[in-house]
Amino acid sequence: MKIIIDAMGGDNAPGAPVEAAARASKTLDAQLVLVGNFDAVQAELNKYEYDKSKIEIVHATEVISNHEEPVKAVKSKRDASVVVAAQMLKRGEGDALLSMGSTGALLAAALLIVGRIKGIMRPAIASLLPSAKGPKMLIDSGANTRSKKGNLLQFALMGSVYMKNVLGIKNPTVGLISNGEEEEKGIELVKETHPLLKAAPVNFIGNIEGRDVMEGTADVMVCDGFVGNVILKTVEGMGHVVSSKIKEIFTSGLLSKLGALLVMKGIKSFRKSMDYREYGGAPLLGTKKPVIKGHGSSDAKAVYSAIKQAIKFVETNVIEDIKNTIDTLEDEADG
């Protein structure tokens, strides 16, 4: 098992990915490849104790930033860390790829270099969101601005496989995001997708609404990437506002600080349950090999979670199972 890490991607790179890899080398059963500027990565690595037999650095001279046009950057910067990492994945020099860098660049590298699973029209970003009932998947949370019903059907199938294999949820429920629970409500895309999901081999529970996102009504929440991106960022933004407000309240005076001490345990466990760092990253579903997008603001803890997730992504044969699901459906359609 070998996990390829884009060591130059993300707000805290190369510090956070390197620190996480150092820790993982001592605790997790996997080889780790850090792709990035050799000297910068080695300098970071020297700060930590790590298992030298399990970490390898692969030099890459360039970096793709969030501000570059992704497809153009991936095509022109052949020695960018994410490009080199994707090429290694394609060649089988690793089992999964993790990057905290530009989402667009990772998507482009995954599509152009790693390639799609046969039969999958469009890969999707599958974000894991906190909810009152544990982590739930929002797919597509932004890979495609617009989608068709066939895409949404595939998102539901792929998301179900991931939630079953990686999160261990038996028969994960699938909800279709709409502006009302009634079957006849929604935009055209929703109305067209509803019967497809009803007939598909997934545990479809019908249309769900925005309020269901945090209530955790469905394990897999299906929508197009525009709506998904807006939901994801609304939840992230609200989490941020609530979190900083709670902090403000608890540090606003001596009595409040004392009060904070008394409820600290509960608040901590609540914040933990709402903390994206606990959930690892967002798997990209539909590519030939496992690719995970870590949050851009990931610290070492978040990267470490994502490394664990990448290992599980590989171990539980998500890609094989997605292939089989798609093949079975196509065979049925042909027969």
Q: Tell me which residues touch a second copy (CB under 8 A).
A: 131-132, 142, 145-146, 177-180, 185-188, 209-215, 225-227, 229-242, 244-246, 248-250, 252, 255-256, 258-263, 266-267, 270
User: In sequence order, what DSSP letters do the residues of 132-154 get, joined into one string?
Assistant: TTS-EEEE-SSS-SS--HHHHHH
Cβ closer to a second copy: 229 or 309? 229
Structure token digits, residue 122: 């469009």
Length of the chain: 335
Tell me how far apart the alpha carbons of residues 208 and 125 are, in angstroms, rounded to a whole number: 19
Shortest spacing between CB 136 and a second copy, in angstroms: 12
Cβ closer to a second copy: 236 or 321? 236
Shortest spacing between CB 25 and a second copy, in angstroms: 34
Q: Which stretches of the chain are DSSP H helices?
A: 15-27, 38-45, 70-76, 81-90, 103-109, 149-165, 188-199, 210-215, 225-250, 254-273, 300-315, 318-334
- Is 250 in contact with 168 (CB distance < 8 Å)? no
Shortest spacing between CB 293 and a second copy, in angstroms: 15
Shortest spacing between CB 6 and a second copy, in angstroms: 21
Tell me how far apart the alpha carbons of residues 117 and 92 are, in angstroms, rounded to a whole number: 15
Shortest spacing between CB 231 and a second copy, in angstroms: 6
- Is 102 in contact with 321 (CB distance < 8 Å)? no
